[in-house]
Structure 1
């Protein structure tokens, strides 16, 4: 499957926010992640923390949190892409500060490009519970490729 790499990354993300015929990738949609806001180099995502996201301890599974944070880093990177560019995550690290309760309330995640070069972008993402408490932070690198 090839992706439409026009006109640029921010325009592609804006289309995703508008919905319509442009849908979020299946893995992101199945997790219940949506895009709340986007601008060049940053993104805000939302997600309901439900029981389907749980671990045996009754809190959000670390893999689900990782998906949310990787998605935030990816879409933040996407907003910096020029026409014909694409990206892929090549590494990330997460620090967890607090368990995320499965209370059916909305989490938010922010993604910010810290440094964008010709071939890589260094990106930070944070996840916040419904009270606005930072529960996890990730730092990652995305590789920029020509389509």
Structure 2
């Protein structure tokens, strides 16, 4: 018998319209508090922004069967999604009003398998270096005992948003 999962998300245009209207940190805090809708991908994958401060963002996920690949463990794309979100939002948390970012690359190293038995995992992103046009961030995916499951680095391009 097949399994099903149902989920909902809010209009992503609401959140997209708010990008750059405040500092990146304030924007993320509004999302974390539920005053701005989370990205639809967070509903699809079922992860959430757990912590945010300047230069740091933490996302969490409780792995389920719906995250599995054909060999019975969490798919690498789920790892990458969490790590990309953490690294990118760490960069976003440092941006002033009117500035946005986009990821230029993501390099992921998978160190341990994740299954439903792993329990809740956290992707902890931090900014390594930030300049006028690019920022470098890293993220670690850890289990409840802070054992590193995967590591990533990401380069982000920074750019001014057009005046409204």
List alignment gaps of at least 5 residues for structure 1. Answer: none
Which segments of 5 or more consecutive residues in structure 2 lack a partner in the other structure? 1-12
Question: Greater shift after overlay, 9-18 or 30-39?
Answer: 30-39
Question: Using CA pairs below 8 Å that are at least 6 residues apart, which structure has the higher relative contact order?
Answer: 1
User: Could you tell me which of 133, 136, 143 is aligned with 1:119?
Assistant: 133
The 2-side partners of 1:143 and 1:28 are apart by 23
Q: Radius of gyration: which is bigger?
A: 2
- Please state whether the residue corresponding to 2:116 is helix, strand or coil: coil
Structure 1 runs of 4+ with >4 Å offset? none
RMSD of aligned C-alpha atoms? 1.3
TM-score, normalization: structure 1?
A: 0.94
Question: SS of the counterpart of 1:3?
Answer: helix
Instruction: Report if the CA contact (8 A) 2:59-2:122 is conserved.
Output: yes
When you count strand as a share of all residues, which structure comes out higher? 1
TM-score (norm 2): 0.84
Structure 2 Cα separation of the partners of residues 3 and 87 of structure 1: 15
CA distance in 2: counterparts of 1:37 and 1:129, whole angstroms = 16
Shift of 1:42: 0.5
Asked if residue 51 in structure 1 is aligned to residue 60 in structure 2, the reply is: no
Q: Give distance in 2, aligned partners of 1:121 and 1:100.
A: 29
The answer to whether the 8 A contact 2:140-2:149 is kept is yes
| 8 Å CA contact 1:50, 1:104 repeated in 2 | no
> Any idea what the Cα deviations from partners look like across 1:11-65, whole Å, max 9, x if unmatched?
0010011013x11111122111111111100011111111100011111100111
Q: How many residues align?
A: 146
Structure 2 counterpart of 1:11, from 13, 18, 26: 26
